[in-house]
Amino acid sequence: MIRSIIRFASILIILIRYNLLFCSYTNRSIRNTIKGNRIKTALQKLGPIFIKFGQSLSARIDILGEDITNSLLSLCDKLPPFSYKKIVQIIESEFNCSIDSLFLDFSEEPVAAASIAQVHKAVTKDGKLVAVKVLRPNIEKTFSRDIKMLMWLASLIQKISKKSHRFKPMELVKTFSEICRLELDLRFEAANASELKENMCSDEEVYIPKVDWSRTSRHVLTLEWIDATPIYEIHKLNDCKQVAENLITLFCNQVYRDCFFHADMHPGNLMVTENNKIVMVDFGIMGRIDRSTSMYVAEIIKGFVKRDYSHVAKIHFQAGYVSEKYSNFITACRAIGEPIVGREIENISFANLLTQLFKITADFNMDVQLELLLLQKTMILVEGICRRLHPSINVWQVVQLWIEKQENQRNRCIEKMKESCLVKTIQEVPQLMKKLNRIADNIIEQQNNSHARSSKTYLFLLLIIIAFIILRLGFFIY
């Protein structure tokens, strides 16, 4: 506890030193007096957790302005690196062999240095170009220190403020702690990359680098090298509008189709190829939601896009987010949606919608859904990057086109099923049974003996078996 208090005090001192503690970034006049370099330097001094916060903010040009966000972009991949000597020590310790036995060539200068790791370009013994990611020395201890401080702070807030119970501060920190624990083991990141690549292998707008498992361990991750341009170098991109549309599409595919998504999509983790395909890197933080939650979120967005607020409220009720006793929740949804959806294209904001929805649901005793926090954060990041790429992009329209495409594909599947031999056979079974029943009646009338009734039953059962065989044949033909 004493260490947590000391750490918290040191954070306050840094914030005060750089004049950041009492600044409100929503106030334009104050915001314009703040230099981006000052914020960047303060976050660097505060450590990796705060750097990651700054990376997320680097996409929010709508809140912080261009001066600040441009400075924060350097937190994504241009932090001070650690020495090449340390790199060699870590790699050789992880694989119990010399670095020369693993790589034909290994660049001493990193191509990127971020909060928890840095990346070097290398060539394997079999001549493949790869990107080698190595964790920073003692990063686990640094994270552990700040997690303990956050746990202490969350506990204090929960005791002081009853309103904070809705936000579940202790559970939030525990969730964040678990995410950090997984992020600091690069084997988990490799597994995430592998799963994401399998999910999106047929998607034209995205590419996921292949994992080199033979050169991957707890502290080292080796991926296929991809030549691409960082997404924040907008002046080097061929078609910014197409890139923005591809980014929205791949986000929708991850979340609403696969239920597994990259949850750290700040500008430093996205690159673009010459044909506008998006390359994602850094798979340490991933989000996973169940199929029902995915459907609920998709239907809520669909409701807002189509301005069907009754549907939005209905989904909240079905999901259990809001109690059905609040009949006026429909009106609240309309109050959120109309001012936002009805604006000019460049002023329509998903981030604004989420913020308003988050505030309104508090009035209806809706607890914060922890599983949706990463999703909300990712949605805001994606929108922020799209606004930077193409300020007038209609995010709603792209999402609506994606929804319509999914519905068309589903309808085509249904039509295809209707035309299949299996479905046709099933549809013909009732008519077939009537015909078989009439045939059985005719045969029994011709027999005209004392066992007529029982014979009809046996014969009818026999004909049912024949119908079942026909049904099975239809299945195999299908």
Contact 108, 84 (CB under 8 A): yes
DSSP for 111-126, written as a single string: SEE-SSEEEEEEEETT
For 275-312, b/e burial (b = at least 16 CB within 10 A) is ebbbbbbbbbbbbebeeebbbbbbbbbbbbbeeebebb
Sign of the torsion angle spanned by Cα atoms 118, 253, 50, 232: positive
Sign of the torsion angle spanned by Cα atoms 317, 321, 326, 330: negative
Sign of the torsion angle spanned by Cα atoms 132, 135, 136, 137: negative
Distance, CA of 386 to chain centre: 16
Q: Give the C-alpha separation, 294 to 55, whole Å.
A: 26
Determine which one of 77, 146, 203, 264 is catalytic: 264
Is 264 annotated in the active site?
A: yes
Beta strands in 21-177 (DSSP E): 103-106, 112-113, 117-124, 129-135
Rounded to whole angstroms, the maximal C-alpha distance in the chain is: 107
User: Shortest CA distance to 214 belongs to which of 84, 87, 97, 111?
Assistant: 97
Kindly list the distances between the CA atom of residue 433 and the CA atoms of 121, 430, 439, 470, 472, in Å, as whole numbers in the listed order. 70, 5, 10, 12, 16
Strand pairing partners for 271? 230, 279
Map residue 34 onto helix, strand or coil. coil
DSSP for 411-454, written as a single string: HHHHHHHHHSHHHHHHHHHHHHHHHHHHHHHHHHHHH-STTHHH
271 φ, ψ to 5°? -130, 165
One-letter amino acid at 423 equals V
Beta strands in 276-353 (DSSP E): 278-280, 286-288
Q: Which residues are catalytic?
A: 264
